[in-house]
Structure 1
Amino acid sequence: MATILVACSVFVGIGFVADFLLGGHQYKQGDWLINTLNQPVRRGPMGSTLIWLSDQMGVGLLEITILVQLGLYLILPITYWRLARRADFAPSALLLALSPAMYFLLWAAVAGAAARKEIFAIAALLLIGLYIVERRSWLLVSATVLLAVGAWGHLVNVMVLPIAAAVLAMPIVLQASHLREPAEVRGFARLDMAALVFLATNGGVATLYAIVYSSVPSVSAICAPLLERGLGPEICDGAISWLTLNSAKGAPLVADRYSSYSHLTRSFLMMFFGFLPLGYLLARLPKEAFQAPLTRGRAIAIIAALSLPILPLYLVAEDWERWIAFHVFCATVFFLLSLHLDLIRLSPRLERQIL
């Protein structure tokens, strides 16, 4: 497993090096450099912070942006590897995690997706999963910081809060079902509740800010600080250019693109093959593999419910493959924790049947 995770990380790292050599990518770095130095705009506080760090540290703006992105990305394979090991992966579960359904490979296949801002939510959910497994408070604190910061960069990091709450609730559901002793599970402790209340408050303020300052008449004021710091004008041709559109204007563009049969077909195929390994595994598992209160039907319902919070993004954002990858990721985290919490048991006999 470690070899494949390292290989995927190297592949993504090469992409970051290419971005640096080309002077920055209009989406991969451009989205992060939306700023409020000249006027308030949604997603701007994060870019303003990166500009401030660059100025204070005397490091180039592109360099500091890529270093932050790379640091965030490295959380993913390290945390996932630890979570998978603690789940005592059986062979079929290992095949599932390393299949094209897993987000590492999906992100490698989607140009630029490894550097988009849902990386905050991805890393935070993995840290929360590891927090449930290892019961270390700093893991939840770290996840809370990531989601709080990420909320000011992209609202997907606010939409993910119900998913984070659902993940935190898994142990308490077991305790309520009298299937675990209190000492053996991690319920909604004070830190859990404090983190969720803080994130809900922070997310509400970030959402209100994004609604009030949803668009700008021209991106020249956003681009000016970037050009002054040595970046080329092409950095403004991607994510920054979308700032002239609010959700009401962006939705028709999305509808027009996906009225094309080819785009719809590609998205359907990504969804189908993305969920195929997990769907196959859940279909092949016999009834006795699911432990109360989890059943096959409930597992499918939970996976479907985990997809609901970010569905609005399909209406206003063109890159559906990112949201599909996120659905598959959430399902995989649920599967990992179900193994760890003994909600799904894979005996050697079941392994042979599945494989």
Structure 2
Amino acid sequence: MDDQRDEQPPEVDEGRVAKPSRVEAASATAWVIRARQLREPALRNACVLTFGFFVFAWRIAARLLDDFQQGGDRWRQADWLVNGAVRRGAFGDVVLWVADAADVAPVSLVILAQAVLLGGFLLASYVAVARLRFPSRLTLLALSPLFVGFWAWDTAGVGRKEILVYGAMGVLLAAPRSWAALLFSGALFSVAAFAHEAMLLFWPLFVAALWVCHRRGAPRWAVLCASLGSLGLSLVALVSASAFYGHGQPSQICAPLLARGAPRTLCGGAIFFAGDSLAEAVAFTARSARRGWPFTYVAYAAGSLGTFAALWPTRASTRSAALVVGAGALFAPLWWVAVDWGRWLNFHATSITVLLMLSAQREGECARELRPSAFWLALCVGLTWMVPHYVEAAPRWGPLGDAAAVFVARLFRL
């Protein structure tokens, strides 16, 4: 009997659960932490931003691929190939020299550079928002029609020379504490100034981005070298461009390109206007604005100023508003000399968005979440219409507006 009692299994309390092992507990804790890190609304924002940037990248890549198949566009690639003793000609001469040395067509080299710069900036912007765990406000800014979406839905602005400046800012987004990244960024900004003298207008905002990097741990000497070096070289580029303003004939500029197999259609846009004087440019802009939609751009500018001032992560709203207004005023001269008014809004919106991404790197800043209804409403409003590239063009539908128009047309068989 004693042996039988010894062989009976011990009683188990069904209300108690066995404790997990240390390995199981650590694994479960890690999954809980990850789930909390990507809980709503961060997971929602991550999915929306990932899908949006994928669509943007696809449309931009399709535009560049079409340009490659057509032998180049008279604005998007021809602007990079202005050469000779004319304004911005030194940059084009270097592009032709590199193309000859690499034994590739100049247009192909330009498209490759555009793809690398645009892709790098897209990736750097995405990573910057992801570091902050996809806050709602920065997610909406990254998807706004004045940021990357401007290139995706009005492809006339894809790959223009300002992407050299955006590439420099993208380097700061990717590695804000690296002295090598700061020096490379300053060198890339200097190249942008030689490519187009108007890029000098970005310099105060570029220095502000460098200063934010210094506050995040970048060495002071690298910030000073990048700031002063880019300023000195940019002033040299400005003096050089001023000396050749109004010089050059389209036939002289286009001849080296035709000799390298470029199509003649490449000579009708940026190259055709390369020799215009400042007075001619101002007169053409005035005529275009009178028959265009100027108030559309004014409304977008006012809306963006208020939006950026409200989102700035500092408590001093007056100071942040003054900074945003001052940043917009930097590009005010461009509104008088060229018809690319949507492009000038993109200049302001992109540079301020980059500054917001850089200055909001500490956890908690720009992290005040929106209500789901407010987030979706702001996203839908931002994607319903877009600002066109040229002042002569009428306001255009954005991706949601296009989809709604197609749905209505099919519904009523229009």
Q: What are the residue-to-residue correspondences of 1:173-322 with 2, within 5 Å?
A: 185-186=216-217, 189-260=220-291, 262-271=292-301, 275=304, 279=306, 283=310, 291=314, 294-322=315-343
* Counterpart residue number, 1:107: 151
Identity of paired residues, percent? 26
Shift of 1:191: 0.9
Mark the CA change 1:342 to 1:155 in structure 2 (over 3 Å): closer, same or farther: farther
State the match for 1:334 in structure 2: 355
1:116 aligns with 2:137: no
AA matched with 1:12: I
Q: CA deviation at 1:270?
A: 4.2
Shift of 1:60: 1.7
The answer to whether the 8 A contact 1:281-1:354 is kept is no
Paired residues of 1:255 and 1:315 also in contact (CA < 8 A): yes
Task: Give 1:21 deviation, angstroms.
Answer: 1.6
The one of 31, 51, 57 aligned to 2:102:
57
Which residue identity does 1:53 align to in structure 2?
Answer: V
Task: Name the residue aligned to 1:7.
Answer: 55
Shift of the 72–352 alpha-carbon distance from structure 1 to 2, 3 Å rule, reads: closer
Alpha-carbon shift at residue 246 of structure 1 (Å): 2.0
CA gap 1:228/1:212 in 2 versus in 1, 3 angstroms: same
- Deviation larger for 299-308 or 189-198: 299-308
Report the AA paired with residue 320 of structure 2.
A
1:29 shift after superposition: 0.8
Distance in 2, matches of 1:66 and 1:4, equals 23
Instruction: Map 1:339-350 to 2 at 5 A.
Output: 339-341=360-362, 344-347=365-368
Is residue 159–residue 310 contact of structure 1 (8 Å, CA) maintained in 2?
A: yes
Per-residue deviation at 1:63? Answer: 1.3
Aligned-residue Cα RMSD (Å) equals 2.5
Stretches of structure 2 that go unaligned for 5 or more consecutive residues are 1-48, 376-414
Q: Compute the displacement of 1:85 (Å).
A: 1.9
Match in the other structure for 1:42: 87
Separation of aligned partners in 2, 1:329 and 1:281: 11
Match 2:65 to one of 17, 20, 29: 17
Following TM superposition, where does structure 1 have runs of at least 4 consecutive aligned residues deviating by more than 4 angstroms?
280-283, 350-355
Query: Aligned runs of 1:151-170 on 2, under 5 Å?
Result: 151-170=193-212
CA contact (8 A) 1:144 1:195 kept: yes
Partner letter of residue 327 of structure 2? Answer: L
TM-score (norm 1): 0.84
Aligned residues: 327
Q: Which structure has the greater CA radius of gyration?
A: 2
8 Å Cα contact 1:128-1:164 kept in structure 2: no
- What is the CA distance between 1:244 and its match in structure 2? 2.1
Where relative contact order (Cα < 8 A, 6+ residues apart) is larger, the structure is: 1
Match of 2:179 in 1: 137
- Aligned match for 1:146, one of 160, 166, 188: 188
Indicate which of 128, 138, 151 corresponds to 1:93.
Answer: 138
